[in-house]
Chain A
Amino acid sequence: MKNCLGIINLSEIDNNFGVLCQSRPTSMLPFAGRYRVIDFILSNIVNSGITGIGIFTGNKVRSVMDHLGSGRPWDLDRKINGLFLFTPTYDYTSTYKRVGDLDLFYQNNSFIKYAKQENLFLAKSYMVANIDLNEAYEKFVESDSDICMIYKPVEDTDHAFIGCDMIHLDSQGNFDSIGTNLGKNRAFNLSLEMYFMKKEVYFDILFDAIEKGSANFLKQALFNTLHKYKVTTHAFDGHVSCINNIKNYTDANFAILDSEVSNDLFFKNGQIFTKVKDEPSTYYKSHAKVKNSFVANGCQIDGYVENSIIFRGVKIDKGAIIKNSIIMQKADIQRNAHLNHVILDKRATINAGVTLIGEPNNPYIAGKKASIVKEVV
């Protein structure tokens, strides 16, 4: 892995999350009690032994910078390699269209060009999994491929992966083509949008697309020219959640209540790292009653909690009832409040006696720092 540079591209779809993504990109959505979505791919890369990672931050930079900082939680505050952040820039001199992410990749070309590594690992953040990337990398190197794509064979019964990339293999199991899943087939090979790629191939694809004006997005440029390269694939068989809309985000959170999923996601191929908050343990007071829930540190609970995900530093007062909900960091839920199918963003305050009821497929969402006083039904 020493010869491989990690690249995470955070220009992802974030308009399917309503108020949750008002000031943060998808990659920074709080997830599973104490993480952000990006922690999973970032930890996967670090756990694989890659020590140099470039992150293209996308537009909502503040949240990204705040979370990643110097990269210390991921052991990326390095003298040799480490974390590099690329924010959008304004440039008058561009002669080509400023749509998509290709232009940003080109502007930061020198990072990749002068890096000593000869191979690249390209990924996005929205496919949440705990993957051992070494398996795919070995395959990529041994087969002398130009590109190696990671996929997971899925049985998509509830159409969670509509709009995602699907990979088609021929009868020998070799790469045939890649397209978009419209839901026609239940069983298909879901592309995790994680690719190993030779550096020279990357430049080839990038420059070709810019010169010809044939693509705006790196992915588009890649798909246009796949026929020119030796492409191999690697199947991953662990748990994958795709965070591309609120429904999937909610399901992905509740999925960890299943012990198989949580073991897979948190422990299977290494630890998941995140920004440290130094919260004390969670204090269950004398009226606490908690059932089937994930609870992070720093909470003070005196109410009833069921089938829920409670993030760090949440206060739940006596008489409060929380069911089927995702309660983010430092929310304050006061006496006799009643929440069912609710997503509360960070630092929300639910005053005494307030009732908030959402629906299983359409949760009630309260934005960051919301303070809810009167009853909303």
Chain B
Amino acid sequence: MKEGKMIAMLLAGGQGSRLKLLTKDVAKPAVPFGGKYRIIDFPLSNCSNSGIFDVGILTQYKPYHLNSHIGIGSSWDLDRRTGGVRVLPPYTNEQGGRWYKGTANAIYENISFIDELSPEFVLILSGDHIYKMDYSIMLEYHRNKKADVTISVVEVPWEEASRFGLMHVNPDMSVIEFEEKPKKPKSNLASMGIYIFDWKALRRYLIADEKDPNSGNDFGHDIIPKMMNDGKKLFAYQFEGYWKDVGTIKSYWESNMDLLADSNTLDLYDRNWKIYSKNRHLPPHYVSKDASVVNSLINEGCRIEGSLYNTVLFNEIMVGKNAQVVNSVVLSGAVIEEGAEVYNAVVMEDVVIKAGTKIGTKDDTVVYLVSKNKIIES
């Protein structure tokens, strides 16, 4: 692995403002997902499963929970004697302090960090997506194509295509055109925000980009188009499998519900590609004689005496007798008291739903985000 080393730079500074209260205290990558994970566990587990052991994590927005979750990276086997995980916050120098201005600027500010690792390739990841992917296969593709940049793309339904950054490609997958959220899409291959760059080339572009006062310092808007204009070799790498951007409350709720569907393609039980997370050392969950649990995920430390249907429970949740939780996601530490009914909801951490309370109805099409003080419809 010495030859042609690839390191990963994981952009984890985003707020994810459309997730509203879910990101009130944490950055989007630290938002809980799938009963026991945080979103960032997916790219981090993908890294260690792909054999990438140098991972820089760029943080900026409310990093406390994210930092304590990452720790020294031992959960993902990324606590290494050489390499391993490094958290890279914005810093000050002789010219004063600055925040990361954009995705490309965040990497620019850490050029010296990357130089020290002297990789041949740099993998840019974002901490916002749920998917399982072997980056080593993408690297092989990148090398075979002798590309300067490889952009991972996924097929999305045509009717949704205009929500994404789209890649218009030749039959050999070389990129003709990149369009950010076009009204009339020419392609339905959406960029996943995953790039492999040759470090030498990227380094030059980052420095040039920084000098350009009109640049937004963003990979999608600035770096990629500039490289295209210069005739660099850009290739799209088509990913097949589950991929979801959990951008809004609704899509957050949906992607959790996806795990319960028969058609679910995100196999969390695959022992060859485990998703790792920080462990809390809790006892197994208990299901009482009066409980009913159907088509649901339950994590450790829960105590279930009521009924659950199509629901994802995180850890240490109490569900009282005759309580009903349907089509919902309940985050850790919440209590659903006796007789309470919860439909189509995302219940946040440590929220207590008092006995007899009703949230939503069976046939709701909206999703309720339930926090300690208020309920937001979405």
* Chain A interface (Cβ < 8 Å from any Cβ of B): 32-34, 72-73, 257, 259, 262, 266, 271-274, 276, 278, 280-286, 288-298, 300, 306, 309-310
B295 touches A293 (CB 8 A): no
A282 touches B285 (CB 8 A): yes
Q: Which of B124-132, B224-232, B241-249, B296-304 contacts A (4 or more CB under 8 A)?
A: B296-304
Indicate if B221 sits at the interface (CB-CB under 8 A). Answer: no
Residues on the B chain within 8 Å of A278, using CB: 274-277, 279
A291 to B284, CA, bound (A): 14
B274 touches A292 (CB 8 A): no
B288 touches A292 (CB 8 A): yes
Name the contact of B287 in the complex, choosing from A262, A273, A280, A295 (C-beta under 8 A).
A295
A291 touches B287 (CB 8 A): yes
Name the contact of A280 in the complex, choosing from B275, B279, B292 (C-beta under 8 A).
B275
Residues on the B chain within 8 Å of A32, using CB: 283-284
Residues on the B chain within 8 Å of A257, using CB: 286
A284 touches B293 (CB 8 A): yes
Q: Would you list the 3 A-B pairs with minimal beta carbon distance, nearest first? A: A281-B35, A33-B284, A280-B268
A272 to B300, CA, bound (A): 13
Residues on the B chain within 8 Å of A297, using CB: 36, 284, 299-300
B37 nearest CB across to chain A (Å): 8
Name the contact of B34 in the complex, choosing from A274, A281, A284, A285 (C-beta under 8 A).
A281
A274 to B313, CA, bound (A): 22
B132 nearest CB across to chain A (Å): 12
Interface residues of B in 279-331 (CB under 8 A from A): 279, 281-289, 291-300, 303, 308, 312-313
A294 touches B289 (CB 8 A): no
Residues on the A chain within 8 Å of B276, using CB: 278
Residues on the B chain within 8 Å of A259, using CB: 286, 303
Residues on the B chain within 8 Å of A296, using CB: 284, 300
Among B74, B286, B294, B296, the one with the most A-chain Cβ atoms within 10 Å of its Cβ is B286
If A273-B281, A280-B269, A297-B300 touch, whether A286 touches B295 (CB-CB below 8 Å) is yes
If A290-B293, A291-B291, A298-B269 touch, whether A281 touches B298 (CB-CB below 8 Å) is yes
Which residue on chain B has the smallest CB distance to residue A271?
B281
Q: A34-B300, A285-B294, A309-B284 are in contact. List 10 more A-B contacts (CB 8 A).
A: A266-B282, A272-B283, A278-B277, A278-B279, A283-B269, A284-B295, A285-B295, A290-B287, A293-B286, A295-B284
Interface residues of B in 54-80 (CB under 8 A from A): 74
B298 touches A262 (CB 8 A): no
Which residue on chain B has the smallest CB distance to residue A296?
B284
Residues on the A chain within 8 Å of B283, using CB: 32-34, 262, 266, 272, 294
A294 touches B286 (CB 8 A): yes
A283 touches B297 (CB 8 A): yes
A286 to B286, CA, bound (A): 19
A101 to B277, CA, bound (A): 41
A129 to B193, CA, bound (A): 51
Among A289, A292, A297, the one with the most B-chain Cβ atoms within 10 Å of its Cβ is A297
A309 to B294, CA, bound (A): 19
A293 to B302, CA, bound (A): 12
B287 touches A300 (CB 8 A): no
Which residue on chain B has the smallest CB distance to residue A287?
B294
Among B281, B292, B294, the one with the most A-chain Cβ atoms within 10 Å of its Cβ is B281
Q: List 26 A-B contacts (CB under 8 A).
A: A32-B284, A33-B284, A34-B284, A259-B303, A262-B283, A271-B281, A276-B279, A278-B274, A278-B276, A278-B277, A280-B297, A281-B297, A281-B298, A282-B285, A282-B297, A282-B299, A284-B295, A286-B295, A290-B291, A292-B288, A292-B289, A293-B286, A294-B283, A294-B284, A294-B286, A309-B284
B12 nearest CB across to chain A (Å): 21
Q: Mark B257-284, 1 if CB is under 8 A from A, else 0.
A: 0000000000011000011110101111
A289 to B291, CA, bound (A): 9
Among A32, A34, A280, A286, the one with the most B-chain Cβ atoms within 10 Å of its Cβ is A280
B259 nearest CB across to chain A (Å): 8
Residues on the B chain within 8 Å of A283, using CB: 269, 296-297
A290 to B275, CA, bound (A): 26
B279 touches A282 (CB 8 A): no
B285 touches A294 (CB 8 A): yes
A41 to B241, CA, bound (A): 45
A55 to B274, CA, bound (A): 32
If A33-B283, A294-B284 touch, whether A288 touches B293 (CB-CB below 8 Å) is yes
Which residue on chain A has the smallest CB distance to residue B290?
A291
Residues on the B chain within 8 Å of A274, using CB: 281
If A278-B279, A281-B297, A284-B298 touch, whether A262 touches B35 (CB-CB below 8 Å) is no
Which residue on chain B has the smallest CB distance to residue A266?
B283
Name the contact of A289 in the complex, choosing from B36, B285, B292, B313 (C-beta under 8 A).
B292
Residues on the A chain within 8 Å of B296, using CB: 283-284
Residues on the A chain within 8 Å of B34, using CB: 280-281
Residues on the A chain within 8 Å of B293, using CB: 284, 288, 290
A259 to B294, CA, bound (A): 23
A8 to B339, CA, bound (A): 47
Residues on the B chain within 8 Å of A284, using CB: 293-298, 308
A291 to B307, CA, bound (A): 11
B288 touches A262 (CB 8 A): no
Name the contact of A295 in the complex, choosing from B285, B292, B295 (C-beta under 8 A).
B285
A204 nearest CB across to chain B (Å): 39
A155 to B107, CA, bound (A): 68
A282 touches B288 (CB 8 A): no
A297 to B283, CA, bound (A): 9
A262 touches B294 (CB 8 A): no
If A281-B34, A295-B298 touch, whether A73 touches B281 (CB-CB below 8 Å) is yes
B287 nearest CB across to chain A (Å): 5
A148 nearest CB across to chain B (Å): 29
Residues on the B chain within 8 Å of A291, using CB: 287-289, 291
Name the contact of A272 in the complex, choosing from B281, B289, B291 (C-beta under 8 A).
B281
Name the contact of B299 in the complex, choosing from A276, A281, A300, A310 (C-beta under 8 A).
A281
A288 touches B294 (CB 8 A): yes
If A281-B36, A284-B293, A289-B292 touch, whether A300 touches B269 (CB-CB below 8 Å) is yes
Residues on the B chain within 8 Å of A293, using CB: 286-287
Name the contact of A286 in the complex, choosing from B35, B279, B294, B300 (C-beta under 8 A).
B294
